[in-house]
Structure 1
Amino acid sequence: MVVPHHATGARLARHRLADELTDVVPPPLLADLVAVLAELVGNAVRHADPLPGGVVRVAWRLRTSAAGQQVQLRVTDGGAAGDPRMRTAGTDAVDGRGLHIVSGLADRWGVERDGLGQSVWAEFDPADVTRSDLAVAG
């Protein structure tokens, strides 16, 4: 799907993801997916150029196996001067935590560049207990 290169883009992407996967993945995994997608789209809007037409492309892929569902999220934008990177955020900082959230919830994440822009992706492996379950239990 494509969303505007604007703050509303993250909201539209979150709602569409939740609508499509609510009955497909466990609720704790869905909560992690929604949080990571919001961070990735928000970062694209704040730090990168849009794709032609002033948009950001958002995609997800679900693979089901005997072990459970593996999900990949991918957000493609027009690229930025530098690669996305984790920053150190002070306790009073209002930003700078997005990729830490992505790293904490996803099993892997990374960046791919091509001639049109960049994609930031995050993957979630199948598991009986997700990180959200662990955070609530801890």
Structure 2
Amino acid sequence: MQLEIRPDPAEVGRARRWARSRLVGSGIQADEPLAETLILLVSELVTNAVVHTGRPAVLRLSLPHAVTEEATVRLEVADRSGRAPVPRCADDDATGGRGLALVDGLADRWGWSVESTGKRIWCELDRCSKSPEVAAACGGGAVAYGGGAAVEGLAYEAV
């Protein structure tokens, strides 16, 4: 599943709505922490593509066919800029600059690769069951199950 993104900040909201609509029927409930985290990551990666490249992008979402307690969701944003994503250190008063830090803290895995026409940034979220053994196998889960998360001093609640 993919969505073409225009280089317009209004596309971020459209991308979130599109991603939410893809969850319907996937076995991942809209109020599940995985879904909330996924929507936040969509917002961050699409915002980065729109704001920092000023070029069209493509959002791809890979949901497993059979969602189990240990399923993995993959999110990719491909843009037409060859510039590498660079995490920034934002001070307390900055209104931006935390996107990749959020991705790093919330995703189970993330990375980027050079493409023939630009780059692709991707991240994956593991849907772990609540059993301690599975949670430990999934990396302990940077995402707290319960409506919000804390990541090294950052807190958020998806709305």
Q: Same fold (TM over 0.5)?
A: yes
Counterpart residue identity of residue 106, structure 2 = L
Counterpart CA distance in 2 for 1:36 and 1:123 is 10
RMSD across aligned C-alpha pairs, in angstroms? 2.1
Q: Normalising by structure 1, report the TM-score.
A: 0.85
Structure 1 Cα separation of the partners of residues 125 and 78 of structure 2: 18
Count of residues paired in the alignment:
133
Once residues 10 and 68 of structure 2 are traced to their aligned partners in structure 1, the CA distance between those partners, rounded to angstroms, is: 37
* Pairing 1:3–2:5 present: yes
Q: Return 5+ residue gaps in structure 2 as ranges.
A: 131-140, 151-159
* Counterpart position of 2:155: none
2:46 matched to 1:41?
Answer: yes
Gaps of 5+ in 1: none
- Stretch deviating more after TM superposition (125-134 or 108-117): 125-134
Q: Does the CA contact (< 8 Å) of 2:75 and 2:124 recur in 1?
A: yes
Change (3 A) 1:136 1:45: closer
Match of 1:25 in 2: 28
Give the percent of matched residue pairs that are identical in Structure 1 and Structure 2.
30
| Partner secondary structure for residue 10 of structure 1 | helix
Identify the range of structure 1 (88-97 vs 3-12) with the bigger mean alpha-carbon deviation: 3-12
- Give me the whole-angstrom Cα distance separating, in 2, the residues matched to 1:108 and 1:7: 26
Do the aligned partners of 1:32 and 1:132 also contact (CA within 8 Å) in 2? Answer: no
Cα distance between partner residues in 1 of 2:148 and 2:54: 37
Q: Determine the C-alpha separation between the residues in 2 that align with 1:79 and 1:33.
A: 23
For residues 147 and 21 of structure 2, the distance between their equivalents in structure 1, rounded to whole angstroms, comes to: 24
Distance change in 2, residues 1:86/1:127 (3 Å): same
Aligned to 2:145: 133
Give the whole-Å Cα distance in 1 for the aligned partners of 2:14 and 2:42: 11
Runs of 4+ in structure 1 off by over 6 angstroms are none
By how many angstroms is 1:72 displaced?
A: 0.3
Deviation per residue, 1:35-54 (Å, 9 max, x gap): 0000000000111242xxxx
- Scaled by the length of structure 2, what TM-score is found? 0.75
Structure 2 matches for 1:70-81, cutoff 5 A?
70-80=72-82
1:15 maps to amino acid: R
